[in-house]
Every structure is written in C-alpha cells, then in structure tokens.
C-alpha cells in the first residue's frame, strides 16, 4: 500500500471525481495547472498548504476570485470521505499516484509536460 502525502491528498481532492461532490466540480487539468502555478509562485509552495486556509486568505495570497477560493475550501473539506474510498481501493490492490508524488513517472512529466494527468490509478506496484 502506498503512503498518501498531504500534497497528494490535496491534489486528489481538488482534481478527482472519486467521490461525488455535486455542489462543486473537480478542477480540470487546465484549471489545476493554473492553480498549481499560482501555489508554486506564492508563499504556500505546495498543495498541502491549502488545508485549513480560509477563502479570504486564498483570495489574498493566491489572487483567486471568491468562487474559486470557495470551491477549494469545499473540496478540501471532503478529505475523510476520499480517504475511506481510497481504503476500499487499496483493499482491492488499487492505489493512486499524483503529480505531487516523488515517484510520479518521470517520462510522463517530460513527455507530456502540463498535459500529464494530475493523478492516475494503478493496480499492483508502480514499476517504471
């Protein structure tokens, strides 16, 4: 079983449709790439630093509009639900890899650049 970092958890919460969140849609790859750049260029530096931030703080620190900041807050509040889903998947031998993980396949990053998926699921062990 892979260990899920807080950066990976934040990435998954913001970009995955693993859990149903009718009220707030996941970020598309294009939207995620823009947000990831804003995070990297800010004092936050990583997706995990979005946890426990208010909408107002994100609006000020990342120069986000209120709708986007609220969307982030709502999606990050679902951590408990997604962790339960990941436990079920792990029991089936399925795990997730995110761009925040150090073992994210380098060839994907190099070849696809910003088109590389924010996350993907694997069955078994990641060997590349």
- Under a CB-based contact definition with an 8 Å cutoff, are residues 23 and 74 in contact? yes
pTM above 0.75, yes or no: yes
The whole-angstrom separation of Cα 22 and Cα 3 is 28
Q: What is the pLDDT of residue 1?
A: 60
The whole-angstrom separation of Cα 66 and Cα 68 is 6
- Scanning the structure block, which residue is given the tokens 């931030």? 53
Q: Which two tokens stand for residue 35?
A: 């947000």
Instruction: Give residue 53's region: left, alpha or beta (phi > 0; psi -120 to 50).
Output: beta
Specify the DSSP element, H or E, that contains 46. none
Q: What is the pLDDT of residue 128?
A: 59
Point out the residues of the chain with pLDDT beneath 70: 1, 21-22, 126-128
């Amino acid at each position: 079983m892979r260990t899920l970092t807080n950066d990976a958890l934040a990435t998954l919460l913001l970009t995955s449709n693993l859990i149903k969140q009718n009220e707030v849609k996941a970020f598309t790859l294009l939207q995620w790439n823009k947000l990831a750049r804003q995070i990297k260029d800010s004092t936050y530096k990583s997706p995990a630093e979005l946890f426990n931030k208010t909408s107002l703080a994100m609006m000020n620190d990342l120069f986000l509009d209120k709708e986007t900041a609220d969307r982030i807050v709502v999606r990050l509040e679902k951590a408990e639900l997604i962790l339960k889903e990941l436990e079920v998947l792990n029991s089936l031998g399925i795990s997730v890899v995110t761009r925040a993980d150090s073992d994210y396949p380098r060839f994907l990053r190099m070849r696809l650049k910003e088109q590389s998926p924010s996350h993907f699921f694997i069955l078994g062990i990641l060997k590349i």
